[in-house]
Amino acid sequence: MASPYATQSLLLILFIILTTFLHFSLCMVKRLNMTCNEKERNALLSFKHGLSDPSNRLSSWSNEKDCCRWLGVRCDNITGRVVGLNLSTPLNSPYMELSGEISPSLLELESLISLDLSLNYFVHTQIPSFFGSMKGLRYLDRSLSGFMGLIPYQLGNLSNLQHLNLGYNYALQVGNLNWISTLSSLQYLDLSSTDLHKELDWIQVFGALPSLSELHLENCQIDNLSPSKGKANFTNLQVLDLSNNNLNQGILSWISNLSRTLVQLDLRSNFLQGEVPEMLSRIQNLQSLVLQGNQLNGELPDSLGKLEHLEVLDLSNNTITGPIPSSLANLSSLRTLNLGHNQLNGTIPKSFGYLKNLQVLNLASNSLTGGIPESLGILSNLVTLDLSSNLLEGPMNELNFLKLSKLKELRMSSTELFFSVNSSWVTPFQLEYALMSSCGVGSKFPTWLKRQSCSNQGLLPSVSANVEVLNIANNSISGPISPFFCERMNGNYTNKLAVLDVSNNRLSGDLGQCWMNWQALMHLNLGTNKLSGEIPNSIGYLSGLESLLLDDNAFSGSVPWTMQNCSMLKFIDMGDNQLSDTLPAWIWEMQPLMVLRLRSNKFKGSINQNMCQLSSLIVLDLANNSLSGTIPNCLDSLKAMAGEDDFYANPLKYYYGFDFNYDNYKESLVLVPKGDELEYRDNLILVRMIDLSSNKLSGAIPTELSKLSALRFLNLSRNYLSGEIPKDMGKMKLLESLDLSLNQIMGEIPQSLSDLSFLSFLNLSYNNLSGMIPTSTQLQSFEALSYTGNPELCGPPLTSNCSSGQELLGAGSVEHADGIFFDTSDFYKAMGVGFAAGFWGDLQCYFL
């Protein structure tokens, strides 16, 4: 029989359980019946009224609905008051930004503790000073939103603020830093891309914040690491990001004073000099050390092996020398080791096999010798292995990779490594990216990359089902290409290949009609081979294709009409072929198109007015064809070239639109901006170019061209253009190169051209220009060659004196006859310093 004490205890427990259950039930009922406070609902509607919402993200915000259920609104479970407002644009939805004015009605949200307006488009908008009156705020994020002007000092009133992110508002000014020192509760601060180079006391100001644990000051123009007064306190700092600044000293000792707290240190992309200091080994809790992209030299200290908690070590892109310390094998927690692009020598340490948690190993672009240690074959967590551009040699025994079940990316280009051909197994791991470019003739490919052996002549391999990226460019692979695409797949085979780059090889033949098997392709580069025949109609099956490069081959015929099914195309390069017929009308309907390069073909007909629909176009290169008619007079509709695409105010949005990247793969493009062929890759996003030279275009240069204020390169030379140079061409403020030579343009040179302060290349030669060359430092800085062949033109730098009416009668002056022009290839060479005196004798006539 139970004792009375036990019975009482049991009853007490049941009472507590019942009471808790009833309390929870009442709370749930109250929560279900909870509705938004009417005053706060009206405040939110007033806030919405001041915003521009083109994608209708805030459609749920209406009078008929409870505001606690509106998108981005979070209410307290008990009181129903609004405590959180998150209107950040999702990263995967870059075209849904809010803009407009921020209403002070937000002050009505008296319980608000969290406000996130990041990743929006508040360009030309200042951060409202009334934010300083929202005393309850603990979390404020306005990063990547285009705000400008001074940060209001009133933010210093937010004594409860714990998280402040104003980073990557490129026109934002910090002003006086004193207001930050009052934020005693602040734990997280991000002022990235705010100019702090004049703030000599930034270390003292931020170091005095007692609760600060994360400090992000990327790209702030900081050039000093030395405290100007006293010491750098930072008593609780765990994360310090000073990347992309102008730090040009060594890594100062005060950083080692953070040894008890610091977990992440990022000093990448500065100008730090000297050796990697021993004192870093005293930061015992360090988990991430990134010193990539500096000017560090000397040998790596063995003491780095003492950082037992280190998970990320990135010392790439420096000038570090000597062998790789074997002590790095003591870093048992290491997940990423990047020592690429240095001057390391010696062999790869066998002890790396102890790095059981390693996922990324990058030793590319060094002077490492010997072979690959078999111990790397037991790194079962390895995802990326990059050994490219070293002096490594010898067989890469496939059995070493049997346990690399997670490996997705392997790079071994520009080495003397090779795979044995005879192998009894296929696809030992889930490889997705294989980069083996520049490996030389007769390179052997492993069985996981192909299902049959390559011959000694270096034939194109087949790929296994798991490969998503195959880059074997810049080799000497030869033979027909169609078997690669048309080989029958055994069994249930789903092709995942998204990126194929076989450019700069010796492949030949036609492309076959098997493109229905490759519908996962997004980026296809077959440029600079010996391919021929017509572009097959079946290429229209590639509906997800974003970039197509077939340049520098011998393709003929017309562009197939089925390509209009490839409606995602952003990048088309079919230049330097033998394509003919008219430009397809559907190409001007490709709204995502940003790069169109069709130069050096046999296209004829006119340029359709519909081309002005391509608002995202940044490169239009139709040079060296037989196009006729006039230049469309709607060019001002090309928004990207007119500077109406908000690239500089909101680059993140533009990078989404210009995303030619797939797992670190980037497209490149050869352009002729100033007479010389240049390859653009990382900086292609900055190019704005129109090249219509060497055609049969006629009529006047449209005045609308002057509205392309973001255009950098314009070449209309070698046509039949007439009329005058547009008077407002000087408004094209970013223009770097202007070539109007070998036309029939008349009249005077507009005075406005003297306003083109970035202009470094000018060619107005061989036209019918007259009058005096406008006097300016800019226009007189060019050689006389820029103006020659215009008999009625006078003034410096020409020798003819306007006052005497003297005409320039230099050798090579030419009267335009039908189809007769001069070759100006030597002109471009002569524009540089020290051009050859024999230029005139080198001019040659040619017929279009």
Cross-sheet strand order for the sheet of 554-557: 478-480, 506-509, 530-534, 554-557, 578-579
Say if residues 569 and 547 touch (Cβ distance below 8 Å).
yes
Q: For the ranges 370-384, 416-430, 605-619, 745-759, which has the lowest average pLDDT?
A: 416-430
pLDDT top residue among 323 and 817? 323
User: What residue ranges in 568-633 does DSSP mark as E strands?
Assistant: 571-573, 578-579, 595-597, 604-605, 619-621, 626-629
Give the residue-averaged pLDDT of 447-456.
33
For residue 30, the model assigns a pLDDT of 45
**Where residue 765 falls among pLDDT bands split at 50, 70, 90?**
very high
Beta pairing partners, 313: 289, 337
pLDDT tens per residue across span 466-512: 678 787 777 777 888 888 888 654 444 567 788 888 888 889 999 98
For residue 843, the model assigns a pLDDT of 28
pLDDT tens per residue across span 709-720: 999 999 999 999
pLDDT top residue among 465 and 160? 160
Task: Show the tokens assigned to 473.
Answer: 């460019």
pLDDT at 740 over 70: yes
Task: Show the tokens assigned to 482.
Answer: 């169609």
pLDDT at 812 over 60: no
Mean pLDDT of the chain: 81
Domains delineated in the chain: 35-121 (3.80.10.10), 247-404 (3.80.10.10), 580-794 (3.80.10.10)
Q: For the ranges 136-140, 513-517, 549-553, which has the lowest average pLDDT?
A: 513-517
Provide, rounded to the nearest whole percent, the portion of the chain with pLDDT above 70. 78
pLDDT tens per residue across span 647-706: 544 444 444 444 444 545 667 777 777 777 777 776 777 889 999 999 999 999 999 999
pLDDT top residue among 505 and 116? 116
What DSSP designation does 825 have? H
d(CA 745, CA 747): 7
pLDDT at 94 over 80: no
Say if residues 149 and 119 touch (Cβ distance below 8 Å).
no
For residue 493, the model assigns a pLDDT of 54
For residue 809, the model assigns a pLDDT of 35
pLDDT at 627 over 70: yes
**Where residue 828 falls among pLDDT bands split at 50, 70, 90?**
very low
pLDDT tens per residue across span 594-619: 999 999 999 999 999 999 999 899 99
pLDDT top residue among 394 and 784? 784
d(CA 283, CA 262): 7
The secondary structure of 338-359, three-state, reads ECCCCEEEECCCHHHHHCCCCC
Q: Give the Å distances, CA to CA, from 780 to 22, 69, 787, 813.
A: 89, 66, 11, 21
For the question of whether the overall pTM of this predicted structure is more than 0.75, the answer is no
pLDDT top residue among 102 and 7? 102
**Where residue 32 falls among pLDDT bands split at 50, 70, 90?**
very low
Which among 566, 611, 612 has a CA at the least distance from the CA of 585? 611
pLDDT top residue among 818 and 506? 506
Give the residue-averaged pLDDT of 558-574.
93
**Where residue 24 falls among pLDDT bands split at 50, 70, 90?**
low
Residue 241, Cβ density class (10 Å: 0-12 exposed, 13-18 middle, ≥19 buried): buried
For residue 437, the model assigns a pLDDT of 52
pLDDT at 372 over 70: yes
User: What residue ranges in 111-198 does DSSP mark as E strands?
Assistant: 114-116, 139-141, 148-150, 163-165, 171-173, 188-190
For residue 497, the model assigns a pLDDT of 85
Q: For the ranges 82-91, 451-460, 640-649, 696-705, which has the lowest average pLDDT?
A: 451-460
For residue 34, the model assigns a pLDDT of 59
For residue 29, the model assigns a pLDDT of 42
Residue 80, Cβ density class (10 Å: 0-12 exposed, 13-18 middle, ≥19 buried): buried
pLDDT top residue among 426 and 820? 820
Task: Show the tokens assigned to 485.
Answer: 């695409």
pLDDT at 624 over 90: yes
Task: Show the tokens assigned to 705.
Answer: 């061209």
d(CA 728, CA 725): 9
Distance of CA 487 to the CA centre of its chain: 35
Give the residue-averaged pLDDT of 175-204.
88
Task: Show the tokens assigned to 90.
Answer: 């999702």
For residue 41, the model assigns a pLDDT of 93
d(CA 211, CA 162): 9
pLDDT at 134 over 60: yes
Q: For the ranges 198-202, 205-209, 268-272, 722-726, which has the lowest average pLDDT?
A: 198-202
Say if residues 609 and 635 touch (Cβ distance below 8 Å).
no
d(CA 636, CA 646): 16
pLDDT tens per residue across span 38-88: 899 999 999 999 999 988 899 999 876 789 999 999 999 889 999 999 999
